[in-house]
Homo-oligomer: A and B are copies of this chain.
């Protein structure tokens, strides 16, 4: 096990019906099923193209309740797309963290522990889909950006996590990251 540290720069929730975009809040509550009120809340979720070993729509354990991106990787994506910055809201991220290189490459099973004892389990790379590209293109009013997100975000779009220990995550929280 190797332990290192990162900082929670922002905490966000996707609580607008039909919209994956998140908004900043001072803190989020996390339960075993995720963040109450967030679009990814739930113990079970219908399988989609990411879980191709199951028939589409089959109810399976939800291991994608919380998505995390890093300041460092967002800077790299922005640079690759030729834009100034990427806002975590546009990616539907729940946590924006800083102080960690290669967040997206953390192995499955890595633990993220917060000051009040809240614990998340890394479930692996959040593989980029086309929606954030469309959101970025709309936000910057440049249609050509829509297709630039996926190729520039591979292995940089952060991770998805499930919840191991329930609690509260606050903006500013230090994170202890424990690699298996």
State the oligomeric state as a number of copies: 2
Expressed in whole angstroms, the Cα–Cα distance for A55 and B119 within the complex equals: 12
Q: Is B117 a contact partner of A61 (Cβ separation < 8 A)?
A: no
Interface residues of A in 127-179 (CB under 8 A from B): 162-166, 176, 178
* A124 interface contact, C-beta 8 A: yes
- Of all chain B residues, the one with the shortest Cβ separation from A44 is B32
Q: Is the interface of A mostly helix, strand, loop or mixed?
A: strand
Q: Is A121 a contact partner of B32 (Cβ separation < 8 A)?
A: no
* A78 interface contact, C-beta 8 A: no
Q: Is A61 a contact partner of B32 (Cβ separation < 8 A)?
A: yes
Q: Is A180 a contact partner of B53 (Cβ separation < 8 A)?
A: no
Q: Is A43 a contact partner of B53 (Cβ separation < 8 A)?
A: no
Expressed in whole angstroms, the Cα–Cα distance for A113 and B163 within the complex equals: 23
Q: Is B53 a contact partner of A119 (Cβ separation < 8 A)?
A: yes
Q: Is B108 a contact partner of A54 (Cβ separation < 8 A)?
A: no
Contacts A/B (CB < 8 Å), 10 sampled:
A53-B111, A54-B165, A59-B165, A59-B166, A60-B165, A61-B162, A61-B165, A108-B109, A109-B124, A124-B180
